Structure 1
Amino acid sequence: MKFAEITTGKRILLGPVTVDAEEIIDFAKRYDNQWFHTDPQQADAGPWNGLIASGWHTCSLAMKLVSNGVLADSESYASPGLQYLKWPNPVRPGDALTLELQVKESRVSSAKPWLGIVRWQWVMRNQHGVDVLDLEATSMFKIAEAESGPEAA
């Protein structure tokens, strides 16, 4: 998707992607080796009543959906970061996750007319409609100066 298509107010639905116990455990053993992500038996007796995915795994799943569904073949080249990141509920084995993107702001930089800036909220939900990820990100796009048009801000 090109920067010009990512307009303020636009909503984009991506997914679903399903996560299983083996993927949760493999990711956690590599990147977040805590028992409630890696040991199903111990996790069953823990406060979460079962195995849960690392929040970083959840973020990775969301990023894969965005990079394949929106950023592929775009002018995207960087992000200065997130305004916030929340994991309101855990992801569990068997969850089918969908991601909703809402573009809060899309503009061309007035100082750098080759720079497109998108501020957007990403909300990932499981198959029950329960939020499992909520973040607000800023993404940057290298665009041609000719695309800046009259809405440059």
Structure 2
Amino acid sequence: MAQDILYFEDLQVGDSFAFGPLTVTRDEVIAFASEFDAQPFHLSDEAAAQTHFGTIPASGWHTTALFMKMFVAEMQKNPARQAASLGAMGVDELRWLRPVRPGDTLRGTNEVIDTKISKSRPEMGIVRNKVTIFNQHDEPVMTMIPIAMWRTRAGASAA
């Protein structure tokens, strides 16, 4: 039986879900950094040893991309949630709290913290979430507040 679509109106402040896990590999850390953040401490242990990192860390942007990979995988498990998602407008308060290293296993939580109907586009609502990414020691490694757009029931019926 198909699930009903989860529209903007169905989302309530406090709603939450978990996603992940995903284990970070050394090859992925170096490949990402080589292409998108080629700072020496992301590319070699020798360079990292000369910094406060000590050993090679993943780029914070890589950690953010890994959040998206885990988040979308979770959304794909729930087509009712994904069907009403209309993308994002941006991110507030992105913080990388501690380094992510090869071998770390990440997981995340997502909690709705604010909802409002768009003033200029009433066929969509705006949802702010608090995302926290944890490592295998349950230490937070990243937090952020994505600002997402969700289809409203009125917007769905107008389409």
Partner of 2:66: 61
Partners of 1:15 and 1:146 in 2: CA distance: 31
Map Cα deviations across residues 4-45 of structure 1 (whole Å, 9 max, x no partner): 553210121111110011100000000000011111232234
Residue 21 (structure 2) aligns with: 16
CA distance in 2, matches of 1:47, 1:141: 41
1:81 shift after superposition? 1.1
Q: Alpha-carbon deviation of 1:88?
A: 0.9
Q: Structure 2 vs 1, CA of residues 44 and 146 (structure 1 numbering), >3 Å: closer, same or farther?
A: closer
CA RMSD of aligned residues (A): 2.2
Which residue among 119, 123, 126 is the counterpart of 2:132?
123
Structure 2 portions without partners, runs of 5+ = none
Task: Report Cα offsets for 1:32-66 as digits up to 9, x if no partner.
Answer: 00011111232234321100000000000001112
Against the structure 1 CA distance between its residues 144 and 31, is the aligned structure 2 distance closer, same or farther, given a 3 Å change threshold?
same
Note the C-alpha offset of 1:110. 5.6
Tell me by how many angstroms 1:138 deviates.
Answer: 0.7
TM-score by length of 2: 0.82
For the pair 1:3 / 2:7, whether they are aligned, the reply is: yes
Q: How does 1:5-84 map to 2 (within 5 A)?
A: 5-70=10-75, 73-84=82-93
Match of 1:108 in 2: 117
Distance (Å, rounded) in 2 between the aligned partners of 1:3 and 1:22: 39
Deviation (angstroms), 1:147: 7.4
1:94 aligned partner, one-letter code: G
Unaligned runs of 5+ in 1: 149-153
The aligned amino acid for 1:130 is E
Looking at structure 2, the residues matched to 109 and 48 of structure 1 have their Cα atoms a distance apart, in angstroms, of 43
Count of equivalent residues: 148
Secondary structure of the corresponding residue to residue 128 of structure 2: strand
Partners of 1:49 and 1:146 lie apart in 2 by: 52
Aligned-partner Cα distance in 1 for 2:69–2:101: 18
Q: CA deviation at 1:69?
A: 1.2
Letter in 2 for 1:65: M
